Chains A and B, each alone.
Chain A
């Protein structure tokens, strides 16, 4: 089966600019996560979706970050405006209702200058 797809793979922007990331989870996976992974650290959960509903967005900086999952499939994560400290890899992961294993996409490496 196809894995979790993410695009773009790399993005360089200047601070105060906007950026959007896209994720296509594995077909049939109802749960979708967005993580932020800063260099040298473990993934940090930003938001969790169940189908097209938000389960938890308590760690999402809502003044600048937003995410949506229309129709319960693809998802987009947006940052507006970006700050230098947003430089990180943004990982998308998905899993089914019948298991605990999260499948991660390749990530988007964001550099804010």
Chain B
């Protein structure tokens, strides 16, 4: 069963902040975040492992609440280049492979000047 992402879409102005959420009904081993620009391949942003720390990459960071099986992606002071569709991919503890992702349906982020 695929994780649920919210919101489905968000529009914000350059410099504003955004939060994207990812929720699973299964106990998770890891959560992966990817960004896909229109017509391009998904690009890896970061991974959060069970028992790991919150990750950060420039002004994009993420957290992983193992008890709630939820992860959130935080985009601070958004730039035009942040526009795209963000996908979370999850690996459940019951999965046979730690490298097999189930992707959510995505959150479309649009940053306006």
CB distance from B57 to the nearest CB of A (A): 12
Chain B neighbourhood of A100, CB < 8 A: 30, 32, 47, 98-99
In the complex, the answer to whether B44 meets A42 with C-beta atoms within 8 Å is no
Q: Is the CB of B41 within 8 A of A42?
A: no
Are A102 and B44 in contact, with the CB atoms below 8 A? yes
Q: Please report the total number of B residues contacting A with Cβ < 8 Å.
A: 22
B64 at the interface (CB under 8 A from A): no
B contact residues around A95 at 8 Å (CB): 99
Select the stretch in B11-19, B76-84, B101-109 that faces chain A: B101-109
A45 at interface (Cβ–Cβ under 8 A)?
A: yes
Q: Contact between A104 and B43 (Cβ–Cβ < 8 Å)?
A: yes
Residues B106 and A41 in contact, CB atoms below 8 Å apart:
yes
B105 A45 Cβ-Cβ under 8 A: no
By the criterion CB–CB under 8 Å, are B44 and A101 in contact?
yes
Which one of B41, B47, B98, B101 has the greatest number of beta carbons of chain A within 10 Å? B41
Question: Lowest 4 CB-CB distances: which A-B pairs, in order?
Answer: A42-B103, A104-B41, A101-B44, A42-B87
9 residue pairs of the A-B complex, CB under 8 angstroms, read A40-B106, A43-B42, A55-B96, A55-B100, A56-B100, A91-B42, A102-B99, A103-B44, A106-B41
**Interface, chain B (partner A; CB < 8 A):** 2, 30, 32, 40-44, 47, 87, 89, 96-106
Interface residues of A (CB under 8 A from B): 4, 31, 40-45, 48, 55-56, 91, 95, 100-107
